[in-house]
Amino acid sequence: MASKPTIYLLRHAESAHNVSKDFNHRDPGLTETGFIQAAALADTFPALSSIGVILSSPLTRTIETTLTGFSTILYKRAEGAAKLILDPDLQERSDLPCDIGSDVSILEAKFPGLDYSPLGEGWYAKTGAYAADDETVAARAEGFRKKLLGLAKELGASGSEKNAVVVVTHGVFMKFLAEDESIDLPKAGWKAYAVEERSDRAVLRPL
């Protein structure tokens, strides 16, 4: 019998703006050190073979972390590969240029072959559901946790042993997602959770 799904929150590896402190650089990618950190995930991340789904923020640094760190399970033959979903709800909180994503056409040129259908035109605009104020960001995090709960139920019901879920996101948004102001993972660091339903809310419980 398959175990209940484990949810891993993963912070992206070191990005150019983390080092330069140039927050006016739009959608920066990883540094050389960042790529080394991401590549190390192939050897250090727990139970790679149990990962069924990877959900990633569509910013360049998170996509690079995902593709570099999990290439061994993303590029297997179809029946053994983990599914990659780019989810705009996982983008970083602020409206600084460094936290504003790129047009789909730019992402397609950088990362061909990915499924960009979840990204609408102007998905990165920090307005409406993606505004940078605390209330809106908290609501976005709650909405994502509900999606995560539904996904976990589907994976659990499937009976598959490949039922772990990796969520690749950003340091500040992660605080809202985990509902934990103290969480401050290192670059390319992760923490394991279970997702549960409590009083009509979806919550992440640390494991």
The verdict on residue 8 lying in a domain is: no
The verdict on residue 6 lying in a domain is: no
The verdict on residue 7 lying in a domain is: no
Range of the domain at 127: 14-206
> Would the pTM count as exceeding 0.85?
yes
pLDDT value for 1: 43
The tally of domains found in the chain comes to 1
The verdict on residue 1 lying in a domain is: no
The verdict on residue 71 lying in a domain is: yes
CATH number of the domain to which 82 belongs? 3.40.50.1240
- Chain position carrying tokens 């599914």: 83
The verdict on residue 46 lying in a domain is: yes
The verdict on residue 131 lying in a domain is: yes
What is the CB-side half-sphere exposure of residue 59 using CA atoms within 13 A? 32
The verdict on residue 5 lying in a domain is: no
Per the model's pLDDT, the better-predicted residue between 33 and 77 turns out to be 33
- Sheet strands side by side (includes 83-86): 83-86, 51-56, 164-169, 7-11, 190-198, 201-206
- For the stretch 135-191, pLDDT in tens is 999 999 999 999 999 999 888 887 778 889 999 999 999 999 999 999 999 999 999
**DSSP character string of 113-180:** T---TT--TTTT-SSGGG-SSHHHHHHHHHHHHHHHHHHHHHHHHHT-S--EEEEEE-HHHHHHHHT-
